[in-house]
């Protein structure tokens, strides 16, 4: 079982009325020793942020807003150029369910879990969708590409959390 390293617990959240445990925008590293098949999950990095919209659980894709470390669940609607999450904005993946104003960790590096739409293929470019927090590989017009996330296994025939995603400091890309 994995445990916090130097005070970092990726699933820990703070209530909106609490004093944040860390300054929003703080980066935290975590060497996750949890077995994953024949190896361990390994090193992961997170950014500590504030939820500006309800995040319903682990694996939901979120985009950083115009204020540092304010994260909102990502959709095609809120990623238009010049709006919340414009081109180059950081993308993080929520580690727990959060309500507006709560503080928590968003994964930006390493192996982790990402919720995707049905039949998202491994190794393809992901993009925003009208389904909040859930990217896909369909390339729908007016969606935005998400750079820095790759699936290492395909998602099955229904929307699901794909536990084999890799994050490399993802950002919102260009309009498709």
- Residue where the block lists tokens 């807003």: 65
Residue 171 structure tokens: 């950002």
**Count of all residues that appear for the chain in the document:** 176
pTM of the predicted protein model: 0.89
- Which among 162, 161, 127 is positioned nearest to 146, based on CA atoms? 127
Q: What percent of the chain has pLDDT over 90?
A: 41
77 DSSP assignment? G
pLDDT at 169 over 90: yes
- In order of 31, 62, 118, 143, the CA distances from 175 in angstroms are 35, 17, 22, 6
pLDDT at 3 over 50: no
In whole angstroms, give the CA distance from residue 44 to residue 41: 8
Mean pLDDT across the chain, nearest whole number? 85
Residue 173 has a CB neighbour count (10 Å cut-off) of 20
Q: What is the pLDDT of residues 66-86, one digit of tens each?
A: 767 788 888 776 655 545 567
Q: What is the pLDDT of residues 111-164, one digit of tens each?
A: 999 999 999 999 889 998 888 899 999 888 778 889 999 998 899 888 888 878
Tell me whether strands 70-73 and 39-51 are parallel, antiparallel or unpaired: parallel
Q: Three-class SS of residue 28?
A: strand
**pLDDT score recorded for residue 66:** 73
Mean pLDDT of 159-176: 88
In whole angstroms, give the CA distance from residue 135 to residue 31: 26
């Amino acid at each position: 079982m994995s445990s916090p390293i130097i005070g970092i617990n990726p699933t820990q959240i703070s209530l909106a009325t609490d004093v944040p445990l860390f300054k929003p925008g703080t980066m935290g590293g975590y060497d996750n020793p949890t077995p994953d098949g024949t190896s361990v999950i390994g090193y992961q990095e997170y950014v500590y942020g504030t939820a500006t919209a309800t995040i319903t659980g682990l694996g939901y894709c979120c985009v950083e807003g115009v204020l540092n470390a304010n994260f909102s669940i990502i959709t095609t609607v809120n990623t238009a150029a010049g709006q919340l999450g414009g081109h180059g904005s950081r993308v993080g993946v929520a580690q727990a369910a959060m309500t507006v104003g709560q503080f928590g960790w968003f994964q930006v590096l390493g192996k982790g879990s990402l919720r995707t739409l049905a039949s998202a293929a491994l190794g393809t470019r992901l993009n925003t969708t009208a389904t909040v927090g859930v990217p896909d590989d369909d390339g729908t017009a007016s969606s935005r590409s998400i750079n820095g996330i790759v699936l290492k296994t395909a998602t099955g025939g229904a929307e699901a959390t794909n536990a084999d995603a890799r994050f490399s400091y993802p950002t919102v890309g260009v309009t498709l």
